[in-house]
Amino acid sequence: MQEQGASSIDEYVASFPEPAREKLAELRTLLRELVPQAEERISYRMPAMFFHGLIAYFGAFAHHLGFYPGARGIAAFEAELAGYRHARGSIQFPLDQPLPRQLIERIVKFNLAENLKKRP
């Protein structure tokens, strides 16, 4: 797994073994479909998507995919996150389970709407 910071999301994803690589690619594709105009970048040594503010960070770990939509994205979906380990700004999706695509979609759309409200 990644020891030093990747210079691109492609490099980050490629640095992981399966099944993490597959899950990272799936999550990235979903995020790109939901917010095609988002800027992709590496920030805090993880992939991130921004559009008028943070949409989400994401990263791979030994047994889970970390999804970081920020505190407001977590708070808005607290009840739906009961089945996942989560904290104020993070959610852990186990690598051996399917990604909860509909939940991720709702969180991303929520963050996008919140970001657009703050736009001048």
Q: What is the CATH number of the domain that holds 62?
A: 3.90.1150.200
What does the pLDDT look like over 53-91, one tens digit per residue? 999 999 999 999 999 999 999 999 999 999 999 999 999
In a domain, 49, yes or no: yes
In a domain, 26, yes or no: yes
In a domain, 4, yes or no: no
Report residue 10 CA to chain centroid gap: 15
In a domain, 89, yes or no: yes
In a domain, 44, yes or no: yes
Domain span at residue 24 reads 9-118
In a domain, 22, yes or no: yes
What is the pTM for the complete model shown? 0.92
What does the pLDDT look like over 7-36, one tens digit per residue? 999 999 999 999 999 999 999 999 999 999
In a domain, 81, yes or no: yes
CA distances from 9 to 1, 41, 60, 96 (A): 14, 7, 12, 22
Domain count, the chain: 1
